[in-house]
Structure 1
Amino acid sequence: MSGFQAINRHWKQGARRGLWLSLLLFLLVSAGSSQAAGFSVEGLKTRKVEGVYLMDADIHYQFSDQALEALDSGVPLTLEVHTQLRREGAWIWEADLLDVRLRYRILHQALHGLYQVTDIANGTQQYFATRKAAFTALGRIRDVQLIEAKKLQQGETYRLSLKSSLDIEALPLPLRPLAYLSPAWNLSSEWSLWRLQP
């Protein structure tokens, strides 16, 4: 490696560190100025299609100012949708029929001016020109396969629970300590419930 390449690499590393430090400083300074933020789940429901129960839901994402600033600065945000299905009134030692975590990521591509929404499980990507459109797509959960109908007992009632939260562990390492300490990053919905009767 030439001397120029070494200097160039060192400069790039320093510039990256400076960018992260600037972002951290901004987030610390603005930690108390966040708008009302939080997530809410609406329209959680199931339907049976060809012997399989599918789940639909709409999640309204209201991010804090700090999270929005980070997103627009190129920090990807990962959302985790935790879904559980168990028999109503089940004993505590009874296993869940379903316990899955769906993961989605949103990233702002400043070069193209687009927001990229990725379904992490299957790698599907969508692109949107506005943040609002991207958030709407991010929260639109459709046709998620839950369980085969034959695995449920007739006459029983089952409880489907769903909660969405920002995955702090998926943030870049320099941001995590601040995110754990700041309410502006502690973003999640309440559990939403739907009762399923085969």
Structure 2
Amino acid sequence: MGFIMRGCRKSKALLLCCLVIILSGWDVCYAGGKFVKIKQAQLSLIDNKAKLSILLDFKLSPEAEEALYSGIALFWDVSIELKQKKRFWDKTLFAHTYRYSLTYYTLLDNFRVKDERKKTFRRFYSLSEALAFMQHIETEEMPLSGYVAKQCVISVLNISFDKEMLPAPLRPVAYFDSQWDLSTNEKRWCE
């Protein structure tokens, strides 16, 4: 019986050590908005339609910039949810995800920002121009189903970098290296 108890104590100690190591390194694994931040977001409501204007602080880490210059496309998802409070839950009036990519073309020596949904793109001669363009997002009119006037509309905005679109050898590094935290923290507000 004593042998079993000593083994149990050792496994609990090992589990506790693993937990402490994981929690101390959590900030490395968590996307905390180090390089991409939401500076301003404003919702305009007209009748049963809404329009969102977003201003970001958008930078690339040295590792992401190096990957971009190596020909790896970088993808972001902009998730927008508009809700209103009901008695016991929030009713979703509108939910949509916009997808954007940033690519460098070596032969043309330019950058391309593409709206993946519309399949439209713009070319830029420098990375700073491309990032300046990506800092401003204007949505088209979003129809609100079940909108109640004079009641607060809860906006939920999240910009997330899609690490799954990176090449397989780079993905494990991207999940644990803080230089790949190219996402924002979720922003909620009421207008």
SS in 2 for 1:68: helix
Greater C-alpha Rg? 2
Q: Aligned-pair distance for 1:146?
A: 2.5
**CA distance 1:76–1:90, shift in 2 (3 Å):** farther
1:132 paired residue number: 128
Partner of residue 107, structure 1: 103
Matches within 5 A, 1:52-67: 52-67=49-64
2:118 paired residue number: 122
Q: Counterpart of 1:97 in 2: which secondary structure?
A: strand
Is the 8 Å Cα contact of residues 76 and 101 (structure 2) preserved in structure 1?
yes
Task: Tell me how far 1:88 sits from its aligned partner.
Answer: 4.4
TM-score, normalisation: structure 1: 0.72
Structure 2 counterpart SS, 1:151: coil
Kindly report which structure 2 residues correspond to 1:31-70, keeping only aligned pairs within 5 A, or say none: 37-49=34-46, 51-70=48-67
Separation in 1 of the partners of 2:114 and 2:128? Answer: 16
- The offset of 1:49, in angstroms, is 5.0
RMSD: 2.2
TM-score by length of 2: 0.74
Percent identity over the alignment?
23
How many residues were matched structurally?
159
2:85 and 2:61 map into 1 onto residues whose CA distance is 35
Gaps of 5+ in 2: 1-32
* Structure 2 counterpart of 1:192: 187
The 3 A distance-change label for structure 1 pair 99 and 51 is closer
Ranges in structure 1 where 5+ consecutive residues have no aligned partner: 1-35
